[in-house]
Structure 1
């Protein structure tokens, strides 16, 4: 039986402790990243939506880095949106800047009505490079 190994970014934000979860769990060569939001270090949301999406991706990037991964290692993405129709243009803009060229990872987008004060959340599964 494999054990869970918690992965934390270099700078932890307050939400991990407040809500009692690990940013990511390594299991073998897979990394399961918890939903990342556009939170500042104190856990408060970035108020401008596009900036909140950018910060969520930056927070995700920090967690990936903590496991020796990059966005190139991401194989599956799930995003949660409080108003998908109004938000999709900003989300696609930031996503295309971060994810880059094909082949793209799998992506599932889900509309929700509550994200604890946030408007966007992203969780991923990544394959950890052999050297990590």
Structure 2
């Protein structure tokens, strides 16, 4: 078995070590990104929900960039919401700013009861851009 090819952003936050996970793993031409949350630098949740969502997308963007990707390379999204009905409008507004116009990636939104103190989490699968020599 080959060793996991982990990707870490330049501004690594405390949660990766605290919860012992890699932000992303390269496998072939795919990038599997762990759930990103709206954490402050120390790993604590941002209390303002809109800001928490923006930080989660910013953390996701940082991980994608560390792998040489962008939101344009994302093919599948899964998001987790502690109160989807109340939160969806805010999430969709941030999503529109970050992901942009159609064609959009596939997206599955899941309502959950617990996210370790957070209210929103987003994970993706992206296709790694072809390397040019």
Q: Same fold (TM over 0.5)?
A: yes
2-structure distance, mates of 1:71, 1:83 = 25
Runs of 4+ in 1 over 3 A off after TM superposition: none
Please give the root-mean-square deviation of Cα atoms over the aligned residues, in Å. Answer: 1.0
Unmatched 5+ stretches in structure 2: none
Q: Which residue of 2 aligns with 1:85?
A: 85
2-structure distance, mates of 1:100, 1:3 = 35
Q: Which residue of 2 aligns with 1:51?
A: 51
Q: How many residues align?
A: 132
- The answer to whether the 8 Å contact 1:78/1:122 transfers is yes
- The answer to whether the 8 Å contact 1:37/1:118 transfers is yes
1-structure distance, mates of 2:46, 2:93 = 17
Q: Which residue of 1 aligns with 2:70?
A: 70
2-structure distance, mates of 1:69, 1:131 = 11
> What is the TM-score when the length of structure 2 is the normalising length?
0.96
Unmatched 5+ stretches in structure 1: none
2-structure distance, mates of 1:21, 1:77 = 19
2-structure distance, mates of 1:16, 1:121 = 14
Q: Which residue of 2 aligns with 1:40?
A: 40
> What is the TM-score when the length of structure 1 is the normalising length?
0.97
